[in-house]
Amino acid sequence: QVQLVESGGGLVQAGGSLRLSCAVSGSIFSITDMYWYRQTPGKQREVVTSITSRGVIYYEDSVKGRFTISRDNAKNTVYLQMNSLKPEDTAVYYCKAYFRGDYWGQGTQVTVSS
């Protein structure tokens, strides 16, 4: 069973920074593709960024140059460094692992005040 636990959300002023972490249980982390999604009320969950098991990275256009995804296979953890945060980044952020199926974390709230 794969379990994901996110941490690092919170309240920050516009222009500030936060770092989210997602710890993954089990021994398959190094061969999983990892994703960060976000969701606001009434909207579909959208992918923000991803990093494959081989290190190929994708960023959604609105976060390019501000967000950085990274992974530490020794710690079974993926990170999302978020800089220059904007009020429109306010959302619940979810971590997802893909290995023969999707595994989701519980989500962590990020609130950016103007």
Q: Are the beta carbons of 111 and 90 closer than 8 angstroms?
A: yes
Q: Please provide the DSSP assignment of 69-82 as one string.
A: EEEETTTTEEEEEE
Note the Cα 39 to chain centre separation in Å. Answer: 11
Residue 90: predicted pLDDT: 98
Residue that has been written with the tokens 């962590």 in this structure: 108
Give me the average pLDDT of each 10-residue run along the chain (114 residues). 93 98 90 96 97 97 98 96 98 95 96 97
Residue 82: predicted pLDDT: 98
CA nearest neighbour of 10 among 1, 2, 20: 20
